[in-house]
């Protein structure tokens, strides 16, 4: 089966499992406990993005190189990952002695160390399987993680889970997925003995820029959650998270395409095939953007029904306004993501980092202003919409300086792709040679 469609199926199943978990949490856990758990999860994910940012793109791109020595690359990445993890755990431990905060923050301080260690082999399994194009196994690995936590949450029908028990259940599911990654050799842990300081230094040289990109992206999401929790409380975090979680459905086709596009674009960029790279970028970004228009219109129109169905009456109505603003945000999401992927694939992670850091700064300042002025959750969502529009403009300017983009050709190739593959399932089943 074609890689695009396998990747899409995997992303769809993962998103469906995550959405089912969220629906159960919304019905089985109090808003306060759910908000505390989501605060912990947001903070843990934010720090995870530091490790992910340094290593993910560097490993995937490195494994695409024609002269790649896999065992040395993976072993060096493992050694660097362990160093990064140790530094992060130490930093969180020191910070916990200096800060006094609410329950969600304290859960993070207490359990981050175990979460960081439990996720490490799982992360490596995802990266190596993606680079090797083994999307079937990648899907299984991801579902072991998400499915394990879903089963744990299902036990909430019989037990009343506290926020701390939810944290431990989440860590347990990550540990099970990591165990599978190690025993199936997907994690590449056996290559740790091939660690070389020079290779780790090369990974760091590239990864420090993509780390800024991943970190900034995480701040764009985590910053909203943390500031809402700080200014408005955990219950408001749960309301905002419902709108954001439903909107994650828009990321399913995007993640599927990016999983396939990053190795392809990295290979073309590394070989200096600029013309082929430009055409591939036109087609991927163009038809993805058009695909999102009818989806966003449907979500916008049916927002009240969808939100009540997902989150129940206690969350649904309060999230409608926020969700509709974020739907408009979703229209620009494909172009913003593909611009960033293209910069990374061309070996220009510093430019992508600059774009994301500018967006992060604008978002952070805008959120504080909105919350201080009493604009509430809708104000935070509006800041996100303005911010991604600025991000697309910055990313286009950066990429245009390198590729000399032609909007007329871009539009022509986009509509040619849409005409050639008129049925939606054909867009994902398309072989990469067609792009």
- Cα distance between residue 161 and residue 146, in whole Å: 18
Q: What is the dihedral of CA 372, 377, 381, 384, to 10 degrees?
A: 40
Q: How far apart are CA 146 and CA 168, in angstroms?
A: 14
Spell out the domain ranges in the chain. Answer: 3-434
pTM of the model: 0.67
Residues 51, 385: Cα–Cα separation, whole Å: 27
Written in H, E and C, the secondary structure of 302-327 is CHHHHHHHHHCHHHHHHHHHHHHHHH
Q: Is the dihedral of CA 231, 232, 238, 242 positive or negative?
A: negative
Q: Choose among 74, 280, 87: nearest CA to 181.
A: 74
Residue whose token pair is 């040395």: 72
Q: Which residues of 250-274 are buried (b: 16+ CB within 10 A; e: fewer)?
A: bbbbbbbbbbbbbbbbbbbbbeeee
> How many CB atoms are closer than 10 A to CB 216?
25
Tens place of pLDDT for every residue, the chain, 435 residues? 556 677 667 777 887 888 888 888 888 888 788 888 888 888 888 888 888 878 887 787 777 665 567 788 888 889 999 999 999 999 998 888 877 666 777 888 899 999 999 999 999 998 888 877 787 888 889 889 999 999 999 887 877 788 889 999 999 999 999 999 988 877 888 888 888 888 888 888 877 777 776 777 777 777 787 788 778 877 787 788 777 776 777 777 777 777 777 778 888 887 888 888 888 888 888 878 888 888 888 988 888 888 877 776 665 566 788 888 888 888 898 899 889 889 888 888 788 888 888 888 888 899 999 999 988 888 998 998 998 999 999 999 999 999 888 888 888 877 776 665 555 444 444 444 444
Please report the sign of the dihedral spanned by the C-alpha atoms of residue 262, residue 268, residue 272, residue 273.
negative
CB of 67 closer than 8 Å to CB of 270: no
> What secondary structure does DSSP assign to 76-139, as a single string?
HHHHHHHHHHHHHHHHHHHHHHH----HHHHHHHHHHHHHHHHHHHHHHHHHHHHHTT-HHHHH
Contact 269, 347 (CB under 8 A): yes
Nearest to 253 by CA among 385, 424, 22: 424
């Amino acid at each position: 089966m074609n890689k695009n469609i396998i990747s899409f199926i995997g992303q769809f199943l993962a998103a469906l499992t995550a959405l089912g978990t969220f629906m159960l949490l919304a019905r089985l856990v109090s808003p306060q406990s759910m908000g505390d758990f989501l605060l912990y999860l947001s903070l843990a994910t934010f720090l995870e993005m530091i490790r992910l940012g340094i290593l993910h793109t560097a490993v995937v791109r490195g494994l695409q190189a024609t002269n790649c020595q896999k065992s040395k690359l993976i072993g060096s990445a493992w050694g660097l990952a362990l160093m990064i993890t140790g530094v992060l755990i130490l930093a969180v431990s020191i910070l916990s002695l200096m800060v006094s905060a609410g329950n969600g923050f304290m859960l993070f301080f207490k359990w981050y160390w175990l979460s960081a260690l439990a996720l490490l082999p799982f992360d490596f399994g995802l990266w190596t399987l993606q680079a090797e194009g083994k999307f079937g196994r990648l899907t299984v690995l991801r579902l072991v993680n998400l499915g394990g936590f879903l089963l744990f949450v299902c036990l909430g029908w019989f037990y009343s889970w506290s926020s701390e028990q939810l944290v431990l259940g989440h860590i347990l599911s990550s540990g099970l997925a990591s165990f599978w990654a190690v025993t199936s050799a997907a994690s590449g842990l056996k290559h740790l003995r091939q660690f070389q300081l020079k290779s780790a230094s090369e990974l760091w040289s590239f990864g420090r820029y993509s780390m800024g990109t991943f970190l900034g992206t995480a701040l764009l999401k985590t910053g909203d959650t943390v500031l809402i929790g700080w200014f408005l409380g955990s219950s408001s975090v749960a309301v905002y998270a419902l709108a954001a979680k439903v909107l994650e459905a828009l990321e399913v086709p995007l993640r599927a395409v990016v999983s396939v596009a990053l190795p392809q674009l990295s290979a073309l960029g590394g070989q200096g095939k600029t013309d082929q790279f430009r055409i591939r970028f036109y087609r991927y970004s163009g038809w993805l953007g058009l695909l999102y228009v009818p989806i966003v219109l449907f979500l916008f129109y049916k927002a009240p029904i969808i939100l009540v169905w997902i989150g129940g009456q206690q969350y649904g109505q309060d999230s409608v306004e926020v969700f509709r603003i974020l739907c408009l945000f979703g229209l620009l999401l494909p172009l913003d993501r593909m611009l960033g992927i293209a910069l990374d694939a061309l070996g220009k992670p510093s430019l992508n980092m600059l774009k994301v850091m500018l967006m992060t700064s604008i978002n952070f300042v805008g959120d504080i202003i909105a919350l201080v002025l009493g604009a509430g959750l809708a104000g935070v969502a509006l800041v996100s919409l303005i911010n991604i529009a600025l991000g697309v403009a910055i990313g286009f300017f950066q990429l245009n300086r390198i590729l000399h983009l032609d909007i007329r050709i871009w539009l022509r190739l986009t509509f040619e792709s849409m005409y050639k593959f008129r049925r939606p399932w054909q867009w994902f089943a398309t072989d990469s040679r067609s792009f």
